[in-house]
Chains A and B, each alone.
Chain A
Amino acid sequence: MFERFTREARDVVVLAQEVAREVGARSVDARHVLLCLVESRGPARNGLESVGIAVAAFAERLRNEVAQGGLDAGALASVGIDLDAVRARADAVFGEGALDQAGGRRRSGHLPFSPDAKKVLELALREAIRLHVNRIDSAMLLLGVLRSTGSPAESVLRSALAECGSSVADLRTALEKPAAEAS
């Protein structure tokens, strides 16, 4: 599958692995991929900027979110659990950083892709086929994120779009257009 990826898209996937490892995640999930897309320099970032996303701020927000050590603060808040409060209490009882480290030892070597990250790669391939483009670049990967409806990565991207007065449809158009012209 990766032989059809552009150099930049491969770099995004490799960097997503590094980010996941840095934050002690057990697998590379779609949010790690999204973060690396936002921090990349190619068509994905251009698309985000063209619809008015402040990429630096968005990248920072994603970094904070993935730095929760694999714990999903947003989802926990939705059921009334304050992760920061739980973490502070756990740190006091079990030692600094205990809760984040309890997710598993930091792994060296290859981290597996989570089902939602695999789905994004698969959907990127499908988008490329649909748009008749030969190469999977970062724009196709971002379209894959947009198609992974309901994944944590897709929801955070969707809310960032809504916050800047844009929409999924706008971003899709911005990403599809250059791809279609280039092919």
Chain B
Amino acid sequence: MSDTWLLAAGDDPHEGLRAVRAVRELADRLEYLQVERARGLGWSWQEVADALGVTKQAVHKKYGRRI
């Protein structure tokens, strides 16, 4: 696995950037699902924010209306 990371990090910029974009899209979706679930389990916005390493305002602004 570390070998493939090295390849993606140093190889063709087209492929590298495409991989970055794909990882970001996947991370965004997982974040949304996890935040939704955590809220459903009774987590406060502050707890969610702490776990994500961002401010409460940031997480509320991003998900407050969707979740």
Do these two chains interact? yes
Chain B positions within 8 Å of A152 at CB level: 18
In the docked arrangement, what's the CA distance between A98 and B31, Å?
12
Answer whether residue B32 sits at the interface, using C-beta atoms and an 8 A cutoff: yes
Number of inter-chain CB pairs below 8 Å: 63
Q: Which residues of B contact A86 (CB under 8 A)?
A: 26, 30
Number of chain B residues close to chain A: CB under 8 A: 21
Q: Which residues of A contact B18 (CB under 8 A)?
A: 72, 75, 150, 152
Whether B23 lies near A80 (C-beta < 8 A) is no
Question: Shortest Cβ distance from B16 into chain A, in angstroms?
Answer: 9
* Min CB–CB distance B48 → chain A (angstroms): 16
Q: A71-B22, A71-B26 are known contacts. Are A78 and B8 too (CB-CB below 8 A)?
A: yes
Interface residue? B7 (CB, 8 A): yes
18 contacts between A and B (CB under 8 A): A70-B25, A72-B21, A75-B18, A76-B19, A76-B23, A78-B4, A79-B4, A79-B23, A81-B23, A81-B26, A83-B26, A86-B26, A94-B33, A98-B33, A99-B33, A103-B29, A149-B14, A150-B18
Residues of B with Cβ closer than 8 Å to A?
Answer: 1, 4-5, 7-8, 12, 14-15, 18-19, 21-23, 25-26, 29-30, 32-33, 36-37
A interface with B by C-beta (< 8 Å): 70-72, 75-76, 78-81, 83, 86, 90, 93-94, 98-99, 102-103, 149-150, 152, 155
